[in-house]
Amino acid sequence: MNEHVPSHFIEEIIENDLKKSVSRENLRFRFPPEPNGYLHIGHAKAICLNFELSRKYGTSINLRFDDTNPTKEGQNYVNSIKKDILWLGFKWDKECYASDYFEQLYQWAKKLIWKGKAYVDEQSQEVILAQRKTPFEAGIESPYRRRSIKENIELLERMRAGEFEEGQYVLRAKIDMNSPNMNLRDPIMYRILKKSHHRIGKKWCIYPTYDWTHGQSDYIEQISHSLCSIEFENHRPLYNWYLDQIYEDGKIKPRQCEFSRLNLSYTIMSKRKLQRLIEKKYVQGWNDPRLPTLSGFRRRGYSPEAIREFCNKIGVTKRDNVVDISLLEFSIRKQLNKTAPRVMVILDPIKLVIENYPPKYGIRNLPFSKRLYIEREDFMEVGSKKFFRLCLGGEVRLKNAYIIKGISVIKDYEGKIIEVHSFYDYKSLSGSNTKESLRKIKGTLHWVSSEHSIKVEVRLYDRLFSVPFPDGNKERDFMDFINPNSLKVVQGYGEPSLREAKKGNIFQFQRLGYFCVDPDTYKERIIFNRTVTLKDSWKKVKQ
């Protein structure tokens, strides 16, 4: 439905191409991660974009690993990336690897030499960089730029044969050392790296660079629209230049389109910076629930549906953007509100004694008794008009149970309240439909029966950073803004039904938030992660 109403500018480009150059069945997409880190929610934006485009147009989509740098990549990353995409709810048609195209790339490189469009340079990296100069001035051509075709071919073959050391030779495209676009100042196509590759081992000792690989891989797979983030915009002329060298009539010439990457408030997205947080032990690993990685969100209790909905909501443009984290929280709350079973758990207990309650009674499935726990925060000796929770002389409903009235407190020698005493109205049981049970009482508290409750570990996660744009300050390092209270571990008291909770289950702890069972849970010790709090309009009144 609505197939002809583009929902963002990339669809508009596609619709235009459909009218002009490309037929519908030739539309093809790809998601091209480098296997050198874990996927984060910024990747999810790109994944949703590409996969949903392929779904919309009924065409195929490849997962392609951009594995051209054996010094940084690994099979563990390949595995985690596949797992995360599947978890998000998407299935690719072909699983591809740029490393499978190395032979073709090599042959094309030779073709470029034959055309006089590439040459082997033997200057040091420092010299090559220096000759490139800056964007504001002309570069200097390499003295090896005019090497003969025969010699170039021979040297490239010897590079491949492993006759040289790393850094001794490189293959460069011969484009324009005066271009204002630095990518066109004779970019490197091949470098010597005597490293074993995670997939193809020691088959190669020269590796193609990203620019010399990406567009050609798109071409081999006949990708019609190659979507990437905005920082590749300046690479597009090079992308097209390479394709022009190898293009054959009748084939699809891929089109690169750029869109802006996702930034989320109160967090960071850069792989390198995430890595730093992990190395410095501010978080416990790539799947720490505070991280914006997909594995982190999964552990935190976020559902793939919520993440997909979020990605659809944020749109696709070319502007800089910082999306408010509350939009993500809205997505997960919206879903969990519909699906999560409600239970009662006390996180910061205070004892509540119901003096006139007979010791033996109970409510089926949810034991009620004379001695309960309620949240310390839910009691004040002297209430106020705004505070409609328990206070001395005031009435409150215990959720799914009785109406009680506070009558006295017991304090320790420091004056801290250790016990609240109350009376209950035995006719006021919830759902009993008595006149007393139908009385309007402003406040309702959650509770657990102290003798029946089970102890649980609860990990209260909060934002990783205490400022909205930890990354946006040029003078200060993002590490300065780490929220020291991003994790608080407490012992809670849960209703006994939680004994049956399984890893990954998610509940609403009534009046507190949504919590999921952590994989670290074992038989005697159930661990809950707080996914997100409930919206709390009381917190605002208090402040």
Footprint of RNA on 260-279 (CB under 7 A): 260, 265
284/294 Cα distance (integer angstroms): 15
Select the span of 4-12, 244-252, 410-418, 493-501 touching RNA (CB under 7 A).
Answer: 4-12
Sole residue written with tokens 């949504």 = 514
Question: Does position 12 bind RNA by CB under 7 A?
Answer: yes
Closest of 261, 265, 263 to residue 464, by C-alpha:
265
Of 390 and 487, CB closest to RNA: 390
34 is catalytic: yes
| Eight-class DSSP state of 127 | H
User: Are residues 85 and 47 in contact, defined by beta-carbon separation less than 8 angstroms?
Assistant: yes
Find the catalytic residue in 147, 271, 276, 376. Answer: 271
Cβ 337 to RNA shortest distance, Å: 5
Residues 235-254 that bind RNA (CB under 7 A): 235
Residue whose C-alpha is closest to residue 49's, from 27, 73, 72, 30: 30
- Which amino acid appears at position 336 of this protein? L
By CB under 7 A, the residues from 422 to 451 that bind RNA are 428-432, 437-438, 440-441, 443-444, 446
User: Min. distance of Cβ 87 from RNA in angstroms?
Assistant: 21
Q: Tell me whether residue 176 or residue 457 sits nearer to RNA (CB atom).
A: 176
Q: Smallest distance from the beta carbon of 158 to RNA, in angstroms? A: 15
18 is an interface residue for RNA by CB under 7 A = no
482-511 footprint of RNA as x/- string (CB under 7 A): --------------------------x-xx
Distance CA 297, CA 287 (A): 8
C-alpha to C-alpha distances, 64 to 85, 218, 535, nearest whole angstrom: 12, 9, 41
The torsion angles phi and psi of 246, rounded to 5 degrees, stand at -115, -5
Residue 126: name the closest of 163, 167, 166 by CA.
167
397 scored as a contact of RNA (CB under 7 A):
yes
**Angle at CA of residue 22, ends 20 and 26, nearest 5°:** 165
Q: Quote the least distance from Cβ 223 to RNA, whole Å.
A: 15
From 100, 141, 233, 381, residue interacting with RNA (rule: CB under 7 A):
233
Segment lying near RNA (by CB under 7 A), choices 152-160, 309-317, 449-457, 484-492: 309-317
Which of the residues 97 through 116 are near RNA (CB under 7 A)?
none
Q: Which two tokens stand for residue 175?
A: 């484009």
* Interaction residues for RNA, span 135-154 (CB under 7 A): 135-136
Tell me if residue 261 is catalytic: yes
Residue 324 engages RNA in binding (rule: CB under 7 A): yes
Cα 50 to Cα 29: distance, rounded to the nearest angstrom: 6
Number of residues this chain uses to bind RNA (CB under 7 A): 93
Which CB atom, from 141 or from 284, has the smaller least distance to RNA? 141
Q: Kindly state whether residue 133 participates in binding RNA, applying the rule CB under 7 A.
A: yes
Return the SS3 of 541: helix
Q: Which residue has the tokens 């802006």?
A: 260
| Helices and strands in the chain: count of H runs, count of E runs | 13, 25
| Token duo for residue 455 | 């102890």
Bridge-partner residues for 31, per DSSP? 63
Give the x-and-dash track for 55-74 against RNA (CB under 7 A): -----------x-xx--x--
Query: Which 184-223 residues touch RNA, going by CB under 7 A?
Result: 187-188, 191-192, 207, 209-211, 213-214
Please identify every residue annotated as catalytic. Answer: 34, 261, 271
